[in-house]
Structures are given as C-alpha cells and as structure tokens.
Chain A
C-alpha cells in the first residue's frame, strides 16, 4: 500500500480544494477510460485517471438487487429515457459498467464494421484494422469462451433449443478467469473471477505509475482556442453525490471516457465544446432488449451457471442477437404478471424457469442527450421507430419458438394486450401475428452508444478515427459514445479495442 499511497485518493482522503498536474487526464474508469489510461501509463506517460464513483470491495457488494442498484447505478438504477419511456442503467463506480455487467466480450461482426466504414467515411475501422486491438485486450483480460462446467441448465437448454431449430449458437466470450457460475455478475462478482476494470486495468495502471482519483465529478473541460488545458469539478460523496471540495487538473491531453450520457453533458457544460458539427449528444442509440421466461417441467436452477453464457448470432442480419440471461430474481419478477396469490404462484415457478433475451440493433430509433441546469444528470430523449418495433416482435416470436423447442411447458412473454401465459407454440403465434405497439413491450435500454460519434467528415461527427475531437487539438473521447452506430453485438469489447487504438495514437503524438 505504501508504494501506491500517493497515487490513489478516495473520498475520505480529500480535505480541501486541490489542483493536480498531469500530461494526460483520463475522465472515467470504465472499459474505455481504464484501457486508455493503462496503455499510456505503461508506455511511460504521466497519467491521472478520474472517476466519479467509489471503488467497491467485495464487502461493499449488496446481494439485494435494489440496494445494489441504488449504490452502483446512476440515479439509483431508475434512470429512464423520455419520448419512449425505457429504463437505462449507467454505473457509477470504479470500473464503470464492467463492475456490474455480464462480462460479455464479443468482436463486432466484419459486415457491421464494413457498413461503419462505408456510411461514416472511416478508412481504418474494418475488422482487420481492429483485430490487433481486440487481441491485445483479450490477452490482457484473459477473455475466453464460457467453460462448459459453469454453463448450468439455463445455458445448456438454450444450446439444445438452437440445435433443435438449426440455429447457430456458441458459448459467449467473457473477461472472466475462474468463473464459478454464481450468476451474480449484476451485483458484483464475489468470486473475483470477473475481470472488471477495477481489478484488472486500473491496478495495472497504478503499477505502471498512473494516479487514480475516485469520487471526483468532472464538470467542465477548460479550453483556450483550439486547445484544452485541463478539467475541473467537485469531490462528491459516494452514493449521495453531495458535492464538497473543488478541484482542477491541468493536463496537456484530456481523454473523456465518462460514458455515453456523461461525456456529452460535460462538453455541453463546457460552453458547448467540440460541437461545431452540432452532433454532440445527438444520434443516441440503444440496444433495446426484450426477454421471455419459459417454465419447464423440471427444475432448472436458473441462479446457477454463467450469468450470460450462451448466445446465437443467427439473426444478426435481421437486426437482433439472442442470449441467455440471469439477474437477481427480483428484477425478473418485476415483469411477471398478476397480483396476490397469482403473482406468488408465478414466483414459485422461478426454480423451474429460464429467461432468454434478445437485443436489437435499432439503427432507425434515435435519441439525444442534453445537459440540464444545476445537475449533471442528463435529459435523455429517445423514440422507437415503428420498423424497429417489428424487429423486436420477430425476436419475441423466435424466443418463444426456442423455449418450446427446449421443452418449456409454458412461456411468459410479458407483452401488454397479449395473454400473460402461453402454453403452446400455437398460442404463441399471436406474438408473430399480433400488431404490436412500442408501448406494449417491456423493454430495457441496454448498451447506449453514438452520442459523440466517430465520423470521417468533421461536419457530421465529433471525433475522427484517432479518437481526437475534430474541433480541438488535444481532446479525445474513448467511450461507447464514439461508436458511429450499433456494433450489432455487445459493445464493451469494441469500445476497449477502440480505446486501445486511441491510446496508441496519443502515444505516437507524444
């Protein structure tokens, strides 16, 4: 500890306003920021990493879903979009979303990256361009396919169903070493198997000489002309967000990796910095997800097995990806129908349940992020395009087919205006044939991206392929906001690969 004592500060260590100097200041310790910071520190640069949330130790993890969300998520986990009202979660913790996500690390399909290059005038973002960066991250984090031993019935039944219907499927690659299949990714991995940033890249950053400030909320980027000179903000108390001391970090280069929602808010708060294109906060996209529960005749023990261990990419061209899913039971039960004894009967069936989900690349459904007065919480507006609702309707039908193919005796689709329970594929056909409206669906806003998108044309995007803002000489962005559109799969791995590449560009400049 003594060696790192002057390199790390947590909330209790701050006693007054302060100013720091660094060559490179990285804002945000999620998968984007942690990778950039560690790579640059390893190359011998003077790096300071700033994180608004606190570090969590296993003793700080709450097994209860509500209290866990209240502590690890922004707005207590109850953040929603406007326009179409949909929950969306962003973490506030050292390690960002990697602390509470399912550790899915999937490379974006080559075909998707080709469309990025074509539609966003990118010359060096093909799969071949990104593969070395994917590989570097995979090597560092030990990313590997979910082992057979910890799949559990929930994942194995999914594989069986895909085999029966002839859909391709595979174990999911994850940044996990020694998974025990506790299904607790969402509330923090007590086995410390998940290689979240707080136990992987950030300690490596400290080892390489980097500094880490936690519980600091960056509010502004300081700029003079086309150069930024640093950042400023306030120390904030963990969980309550109550502000105390002020701070400033003077830096030669600033990298914003505060997340899809926070990065545009910081820029808008900084006199609308980097926004000559008028694209900051625009083009917001999600992977809206729907889930269907299947109830089986025998016990499935859904709480055991890798949280999300199996997937099918068979429908990527149609715009959706299928996955297995687990989270604390309370979160699944929120969408179970009924009240009173009926609700209890449904709950008692959980030990025989599996839950599978689909996430959709809704490229026509766009939104925006706007700063609000007197708060750093963003105003998020997003609307469902009717054609994208059709994608989710199709996904629901495919999920129903899979569940019955695996032997489910009934399914709970959780769709308004449709029966709560369906006992056969025949009954489930209504999912395929019924005219669904967006408000009939219970959707989660997974994986946000594109609010500060990368584009070869400075008039149509915020950053270039090197991660540098078009308008400024020394401001970079490295979170999933830079993805020009959906990567078709879970975005964390692509974010880390791009961050790895951006670190290389910055190192070359220095």
Chain B
C-alpha cells in the first residue's frame, strides 16, 4: 500500500534540489577573483555581455574582451549598498526568468548563462520588445550597465574615435581650497605661486594626443 505523503515529500525534495542546482550549481570557478561579483553573477554578466556585444562586426571587441564584468565589479563597488543590492537583484532576475519567459528551443528553460548564444540573444530581444513596460525597463537597465562597461573600454573608444583627448587643466583658486575627495585639507599641495592662467578657449584639436588612460599600450 503506497502512502501519499512520502511521495509528496520526495517530489518536493526533488524540486528543491532542482531549484538549488539551478541557482547554485555548476557555475565555473573564477580564475581572477572580483571585489564584489560572485562567480554566479560573473557567469551571467559574461554571457549577457557577449550576447549584447558579440566578437566581431562593426566594432571588434566582444563584451568580455572589453572586460565588462570587471567594469561592473568596479561600478558596484562605487555605488551605495542599496543600489548594489538592486543591481544584483536585476542580474539574478534575468538569469533565472527564463523559467517564465523561455526563449524557445529544447533547452529554453535553462538559466540564461547556460543557454546557447542564439537563445540568449532571443531571450534578451524578447524583453526588449515586450509590450509590458516594466519588462522593457528591466532590460534597459541591464543594457545600460553593459553599454557603460563596453564604452569604458579604451580599445572600443579608440576604434570609435571617441577616446577623450589630453587637456591641460589650469590650476585655479579652488585648487588652493579643496583637497582630493577623501583627503584632508593638509594634503593640498598648491600655493598661490602655482596658479596658472585660465583656459584661453583654444578649441580642442580632434587630432590631438589622447588622454593617457586611452593611449594604446604595446604589450
């Protein structure tokens, strides 16, 4: 005689195991650790970055070539704890919402980072083209942070010829008053003798040298 209760518990156990595996299992270890990102978040962001910016095409670097996850790690370190929490929630939601909005295909119910490249693109497109405004808003948020990361990469900015130019910064009265953020006033190193003439309004030369952070460094 089969008692129904144990079966229910077994099914429930299997479900919990499946959910646990789906959320926590099978994520590759990180070779280089991040300050904020976990390996699960990295897996999602790396997949999303490459689905949004695949290698090749009009601009060569892919999302991971442009080190978008590392950028996002730095970004999350710079924002308030509340914002950090919301961003992480966003990553979690999109990683697992394939359950509710599967992109189609036999493996459509897998978590986002386990989908094929085509399915990942189809999934993100589904959110972007949704009739439901909050879904569009969610994907806009993700795309925004990925785009910020992509266009922070010196390689990408150089290819687009948008890399900032070198600009001489005059030393003005304010430099005698304010230290760098976080430093005490005693750290101010300028004196009135250091003041330089203000900007003379010479237009920036589009062919001029790049800002040092955007120069190409031969390896």
Q: Is B one of A's binding partners?
A: yes
Using a CB–CB cutoff of 8 Å, the interface residues on chain A facing chain B are: 1, 4-5, 8-13, 54-60, 63-67, 70-71, 75-76, 78, 85, 94, 147, 149-150, 177-182, 184, 190-193, 198-199, 202-203, 206, 238-241, 301, 303-304, 328-330, 333-334, 339-341, 343-345, 347-348, 350-351, 416, 439
Contacts of B143 in A (CB 8 A): 334, 339
The residue in chain A whose Cβ has the minimal distance to the Cβ of B134 is: A85
Total number of A-B contacts with CB less than 8 angstroms?
Answer: 202
Q: Which of A9, A71, A78, A351 has the most CB of B within 10 A?
A: A78
Q: Does B80 contact A (CB under 8 A)?
A: yes
Report how far A178 CA is from B197 CA in the complex, Å.
11
Which of B80, B140, B183 has its CB near the most chain A CB atoms (within 10 A)? B80
Q: Are A303 and B185 in contact (CB under 8 A)?
A: no
A344 to B198: give the CA distance in the assembly, Å: 40
- Smallest CB separation, A68 vs chain B (Å): 10
Chain B interface size, as a band, is 35 or more
Q: Does B161 contact A (CB under 8 A)?
A: yes
CB pair A339 B51 closer than 8 Å: yes
Chain B residues with CB under 8 Å of A75's CB are 80, 82-83
The 6 A-B pairs with the shortest beta carbon distances in the complex, nearest first, are A178-B199, A55-B178, A348-B58, A66-B148, A12-B184, A330-B151
CB atoms of B185 and A192 under 8 A apart: no
Binds A, one of B1-9, B34-42, B94-102, B120-128: B120-128
Known: A55-B178, A192-B170, A199-B174. A13 touches B128 (CB 8 A): no
Q: A345 and B182: CB pair below 8 A? A: no
Bound form: Cα–Cα A349–B149 in Å = 19
Q: Is the Cβ of A345 less than 8 Å from the Cβ of B57?
A: yes
Given known pairs A8-B177, A13-B185, the reply for A149 and B203 (CB within 8 Å) is yes
User: In the complex, are the beta carbons of A1 and B184 less than 8 A apart?
Assistant: no
Cross-chain contact A78 with B181 (CB below 8 angstroms): no
**Cα-based distance from A9 to B178 in the complex (angstroms):** 9
Offer 14 A-B interface pairs, CB within 8 angstroms, sorted by A.
Answer: A70-B78, A94-B178, A180-B167, A181-B203, A190-B167, A192-B172, A192-B198, A199-B173, A241-B80, A304-B203, A334-B144, A339-B52, A340-B121, A416-B136
The answer to whether A192 touches B169 (Cβ under 8 A) is: yes
Residues of A within 8 A of B57 (CB): 340-341, 344-345
From known contacts A192-B169, A330-B147, infer whether A351 and B162 are also in contact, taking CB-CB under 8 Å. yes
Interface of chain B residues 37 through 72 with chain A (CB within 8 A): 51-54, 56-59, 71
Which residues on the A side are within 8 Å of B110 (C-beta)?
none
Contacts A149-B203, A333-B151, A339-B124 given; indicate if A351 touches B160 (C-beta within 8 A).
Answer: yes
Chain B residues with Cβ under 8 A from A76's Cβ?
78-80, 83
Nearest Cβ in chain A — how far from B181, in angstroms? 5
Interface members, chain B 154-172 (any A CB < 8 Å): 157, 160-162, 164-165, 167-170, 172
Residue among A193, A198, A339 making CB contact with B178, cutoff 8 Å: A198
Assess the B185–A10 pair: CB atoms within 8 A.
yes
A303 nearest CB neighbor, chain B only? B162
**In the complex, which residues of chain B have a beta carbon less than 8 angstroms from the beta carbon of A192?**
169-170, 172, 198-199
Let me know if B176 is at the binding interface, CB within 8 A.
Answer: yes
Interface residues of B in 109-135 (CB under 8 A from A): 121, 124-125, 128, 133
- Contact present for A328 and B151 (CB under 8 Å): yes
The reply to whether B74 and A347 form a contact with Cβ atoms under 8 Å apart is no
B219 contacts the other chain (Cβ, under 8 Å)? no
Bound together, the chains give a CA A288 to CA B211 distance in angstroms of 34
| A57 x B178 contact (CB < 8 A) | yes
CB of B175 within 8 A of chain A? yes
Whether A1 and B191, one on each chain, are in contact in the complex, defined by CB atoms closer than 8 angstroms, is yes
Collect the chain A residues with CB atoms within 8 Å of residue B160's CB. 329, 347-348, 350-351
14 additional A-B pairs beyond A70-B79, A190-B169, beta carbons within 8 Å, are A1-B191, A12-B185, A71-B78, A177-B198, A178-B200, A180-B201, A182-B167, A193-B199, A329-B160, A330-B152, A333-B151, A334-B143, A339-B124, A351-B162
Q: B18 interface residue, CB < 8 Å from A? A: no
Which among A63, A150, A344 has the highest number of chain B CB atoms within 10 Å?
A: A344
Residues of B within 8 A of A340 (CB): 51-54, 57, 121
Considering the complex, which residues of chain B in the window 177-211 have a beta carbon less than 8 Å from any beta carbon of chain A?
177-185, 188, 190-191, 198-204, 206, 211
User: Closest residue to B168 on the A side, CB-wise?
Assistant: A191
